[in-house]
Amino acid sequence: MTTTTMAQLRTIADYQFGSGAGEALFPEDVDLAVHRSASGRPRQVLREGGRLVTLGTDGRFTLGLEGGRQLATVLDPAAYRVIVGDESEPFVRDGKNVFAKFVKAVDEAVRAGDEVL
């Protein structure tokens, strides 16, 4: 990955998730693979453990499981968190969304469309 691409991705992560998120998702000492669109725009960033992020056409990231794990190590424990009931776990593990009625608690800073952990 070029230093320009790395800087762009880190800037987006810091903007979307807060200071330090870019370094957590895209550390210097880890080999990352960038899949690009036909136009050359970064589309997905992967590392050995799996997909970190996908860069949407809106310029924001959607997190992969590995990306969420990386962010959880640096973000405040309450930041970008949604707590759901136990009955939602099997659906979340299958990659499905959680209905609002199953949400028990949420970070007050989360807004519609935000990625959460």
What tens digit of pLDDT does each residue of 4-40 get?
899 999 999 999 998 899 999 999 888 999 999 999 9
Q: CA Rg, the chain, in Å?
A: 15
Do residues 70 and 111 share a domain?
Answer: no
The strand pairing partners of 30, in sequence order, are none
Do residues 68 and 101 share a domain?
Answer: no
Do residues 26 and 69 share a domain?
Answer: yes
Do residues 67 and 83 share a domain?
Answer: no
Burial of 4 (0-12, 13-18, 19+ CB in 10 A): exposed
CATH number of residue 56's parent domain: 3.10.450.90
Do residues 44 and 70 share a domain?
Answer: yes
Q: Note if the pTM is more than 0.75.
A: yes
Q: Give CA 84 to chain center in angstroms.
A: 18
What are the tens digits of pLDDT across the range 59-71? 999 999 899 889 9
Give the domain extent around 108: 76-117
Burial of 80 (0-12, 13-18, 19+ CB in 10 A): buried
What are the tens digits of pLDDT across the range 40-58? 999 999 998 789 999 999 9
Integer Cα distance of 72 and 5 in angstroms: 23
